[in-house]
Amino acid sequence: MSNVLRLAIVDPNDATREQLKEMLLSMDVVWLEAECARYEFFADVIEQTHPDIGVVSLDQDPEKALQLIENLRRASPDCSILVISNSNDGQLILRSMRSGAKEFLTRPVRGEDLVVALERIGSQQYSGDEGRTRGSQVIAVAGATGGVGTTSISVNLACALAAEERYSAALVDLDLSLGDADVFLDMIPDYTLVDVAQNISRLDFSLLKRSLTKHACGLYLLPRPVQLQDAELVTPESLHRVVGLLKATFSHLVIDLSKGFTPVDLVALEASDHVLLVTQLDLPCLRNVVRLLMSFDEIDGLKDKVKIVVNRSGLGGAGEISLKKAQETIGRDIFWQIPNDYRVMVEMRNNGVPLINQAPRAGLTQSIVGMSHALAGDETAESQAEVTAAAASSRGGRWLSFWPRSK
């Protein structure tokens, strides 16, 4: 299932083809599947790669290009054609449309015009196809501090999504030094994030899936590098492209971030639709939540994506802060609470079996499955954020201020 628009382009002019490639590679809504420099070879490229859209530049040989468009309309009716030309001649535009083009853009192509044209083509393609889901959802999971259970949540959330027949899910372990998502799932991968990042220009959808490790529940895993020295080989630029290809391949992508909020982590945060900030109800965690939200506010649009997830809810102890006080201090509602169940979680980790298989009826499992439904936009899922806000009460125990009182 493809969730972004996959494109193939043909332009015999190297300079204009490179300009168009650069523009397309900067867009998250498309994936450049193939490029071609000869009109006579483009039909074979379309047949082999099956893109959603074929972009045809007319200017090198308009007659040959128009004949190509007409041939593609008959041979590959599922591939919509977008035409680009230096000319704005009305007759040429009319002939292009009669040959089978869906859109016509005049050079120099503006980014906003290209996006609008692609959106129009995409809406036409997906409007009559109820079996396909437009758009891919990226969920980044970050911790307010170490040891709050981000990997446990990432792994089990991804497995819950993958277990749904209507979804396809992948998990990326972005803790490049100490990640252990593969251990949680008892998997020994053949390839890692470094392998994919270094060969991203050679990969297509089928090769990508063969580079990932598939779990029995249906989840695809892209683990952290084996060698510590290899962590530096994963750059922000390469990760951006990896995320783009994964978005084009899977309906849901879960990214388990490191605790360092590195430039690579920031790429994942900016690419995400949801950022789950995992915390516990204690002073160090909640203080870091406030600090992180203040920092996220400096990055356009990031703070609005953040959803606060309380892990090990009900852990108890003198140091646990009430939910009501926590919400007041954070300044926003808690999105989800995951109950504390140490025994079940330890069994899951030690056995290398996800919760949906290890303990499907446990409250811990049901909570994570419910969160997966809420994130995926399932209207039948309980809105725990509203329930949490309504049920929040100040339990016994002292309250510690986050900041020193002014004298």
Domain of 349, CATH number, reads 3.40.50.300
Q: How many structural domains are present in the chain? A: 2
CB 155 within 8 A of CB 171: yes
More reliable by pLDDT, 5 or 186 = 186
Beta-carbon neighbour count of residue 376 at 10 Å? 20
pLDDT over threshold 70, residue 58: yes
Judgement on whether residues 210 and 326 belong to the same structural domain of the protein: yes
Q: Percentage of the chain surpassing pLDDT 90?
A: 68
pTM of this structure: 0.71
Residue 398 maps to a domain: no
Q: What is the dihedral of CA 95, 97, 101, 106, to 10 degrees?
A: 80
% helix, strand, coil for the chain, step of 5 = 45, 15, 35
Model pLDDT for residues 340-376, shown as the tens digit of each residue: 999 999 999 999 999 999 999 999 999 999 999 999 8
276-290 mean pLDDT: 95
Q: How far does CA 254 lie from the centroid of its chain?
A: 7
Q: How far apart are CA 72 and CA 74, in angstroms?
A: 5
Q: Which residue range(s) make up the domain with 161?
A: 137-391
DSSP state of 89: -
- Closest-CA residue to 150 (of 245, 268, 7, 16): 268
Judgement on whether residues 212 and 88 belong to the same structural domain of the protein: no
CATH number for the domain spanning 105: value is: 3.40.50.2300
pLDDT over threshold 80, residue 28: no
Q: How far apart are CA 279 and CA 399, in angstroms?
A: 17
Judgement on whether residues 145 and 117 belong to the same structural domain of the protein: no
Judgement on whether residues 329 and 220 belong to the same structural domain of the protein: yes
149-166 mean pLDDT: 96
CB 66 within 8 A of CB 42: no
Judgement on whether residues 35 and 115 belong to the same structural domain of the protein: yes
Q: How far apart are CA 40 and CA 206, in angstroms?
A: 26
Question: Residue 298 burial by CB count (10 A; 0-12/13-18/19+): exposed, middle or buried?
Answer: exposed
Judgement on whether residues 114 and 160 belong to the same structural domain of the protein: no
pLDDT score of 5: 85
Residue 167 maps to a domain: yes
Judgement on whether residues 159 and 251 belong to the same structural domain of the protein: yes
Domain boundary residue, one of 127, 154, 178: 127
Judgement on whether residues 149 and 106 belong to the same structural domain of the protein: no
Beta-carbon neighbour count of residue 237 at 10 Å? 12
Distances (CA, A) of 144 to 150, 311, 349, 388: 9, 11, 21, 20
DSSP state of 115: H
pLDDT score of 200: 76
pLDDT score of 129: 47
pLDDT score of 407: 35
Dihedral over Cα of 174, 180, 185, 191: its sign? positive
Judgement on whether residues 98 and 150 belong to the same structural domain of the protein: no
Residue 405 maps to a domain: no
Mean residue pLDDT of the chain comes to: 87
Model pLDDT for residues 95-134, shown as the tens digit of each residue: 999 999 999 999 998 877 888 888 888 877 655 444 444 4
Judgement on whether residues 270 and 243 belong to the same structural domain of the protein: yes
Judgement on whether residues 234 and 359 belong to the same structural domain of the protein: yes
pLDDT over threshold 60, residue 385: no
Model pLDDT for residues 237-246, shown as the tens digit of each residue: 899 888 888 8
pLDDT over threshold 50, residue 390: no
Cis peptide before 108 (omega within 30 of 0): yes
Q: How far apart are CA 129 and CA 394, in angstroms?
A: 50
| Cα Rg of the chain, angstroms | 24
Judgement on whether residues 207 and 293 belong to the same structural domain of the protein: yes
Helical ranges in 37-110 per DSSP H: 39-49, 62-75, 90-99
pLDDT score of 127: 55
Residue type present at position 76: S
pLDDT over threshold 90, residue 11: yes
Residue 402 maps to a domain: no
pLDDT score of 246: 87
